[in-house]
Chain A
């Protein structure tokens, strides 16, 4: 590379950073630094696959929903999650263009463990209250991280998130409605939510990721903030989650399964018992409670439906 080439690239990079700083949106066919493209691909492909993998623990509750109305509600939510996956894979595919990869390759990456799906979707669901907790608190946590990126510097992702967040509001209320019915129900039903909250609490804390990269050895949070894809750190998200949801959880007569949790009004920070970050490290290596089972379900479904892809490819070749 000659020195004039280096200068040209430096100039492109500084113009790119100026655009980002001024709030301009980067589009798929614009020039972008490799690091930006790779950061987006990692983030959005993982987000997309997590939507698809996240539909699996909820799908388990479609046949077991207690009423027809609940069944329709949870089916609509599962369909939305798959739709979100479609949107996000589309955004990723446009970014992958220079590498000649498509969603089929991403699916293979998921199967062989190169592409991770969100840690919260490696967990088991045991009772109907889990369906409520997922909608209310897991989707609530997702809303906190996703609304932060509505103004992301990458236009296609920001536009996909606009659609996704609008539907997340429905998902959160769907979950609240399940929880509200149980909270106002029998003692057994009330105990069912408390038991579910106890089981999900650690997963909800892990949802936002560790506070710093010291825990797992790497973290993308600095890069995503540098490129104005998001604005807040993992810990800031977790604190917002506490602000918004702890008063609501307590108002329903539930107990936070952490006796040490405490709000310091001076620093405006919650102190809390850290989840087991070693468990987190296992989960992100696909060694969580349901990691393999869910991946197998996805593999089976992908193989079982291969005839659809074959049939469709026949019609155009």
Chain B
């Protein structure tokens, strides 16, 4: 029954701009990689801008099963790993008449000196 099984399953990833992260779009059936690229654009990128496409044959994707996913839950007492654990600093700096240098501020520092 070769006729019925010649399709392979591909998982399609793409990104909108050179700087954005790859995002999983969906899966599709294609007989080979070249066709998968054509189908990916036809199926998922008819409108939105696209800067790059990855296709992965589904047999190469190692997925987690339900049991494994259950191990992914995080403990909720890890504030010290995030800025949330230092939330009191905003109030402190205000006492010294200074603004806190938060994530939004710091990540905006790449450009010209203002």
> Are the C-beta atoms of B6 and A31 separated by less than 8 Å?
no
> Are the C-beta atoms of A86 and B28 separated by less than 8 Å?
yes
State which residues 1-52 of B face A: CB under 8 Å: 2-4, 6-8, 26-29, 31-32, 35, 42-44, 46-47
| In the assembled complex, B63 has its CB within 8 A of some CB on chain A | yes
| In the assembled complex, A317 has its CB within 8 A of some CB on chain B | yes
> Bound complex: CA of A251 vs CA of B69, how far in Å?
52
User: How many residues belonging to B are interface residues under a CB distance threshold of 8 Å?
Assistant: 21
| In the assembled complex, A195 has its CB within 8 A of some CB on chain B | no
From known contacts A29-B63, A83-B43, A317-B6, infer whether A312 and B29 are also in contact, taking CB-CB under 8 Å.
no
- Tell me, rounded to whole Å, the shortest Cβ–Cβ distance linking A14 to chain B: 14
Residues of A within 8 A of B44 (CB): 163
> Are the C-beta atoms of B31 and A315 separated by less than 8 Å?
yes
> Bound complex: CA of A159 vs CA of B28, how far in Å?
14
- Tell me, rounded to whole Å, the shortest Cβ–Cβ distance linking A158 to chain B: 12
| In the assembled complex, A309 has its CB within 8 A of some CB on chain B | yes
| In the assembled complex, B66 has its CB within 8 A of some CB on chain A | yes
> Bound complex: CA of A209 vs CA of B55, how far in Å?
40
From known contacts A29-B63, A29-B65, infer whether A312 and B43 are also in contact, taking CB-CB under 8 Å.
no
From known contacts A83-B43, A315-B31, A316-B31, infer whether A310 and B3 are also in contact, taking CB-CB under 8 Å.
yes
> Are the C-beta atoms of B26 and A87 separated by less than 8 Å?
yes
Which residues of B line the A interface, CB within 8 A?
A: 2-4, 6-8, 26-29, 31-32, 35, 42-44, 46-47, 63, 65-66
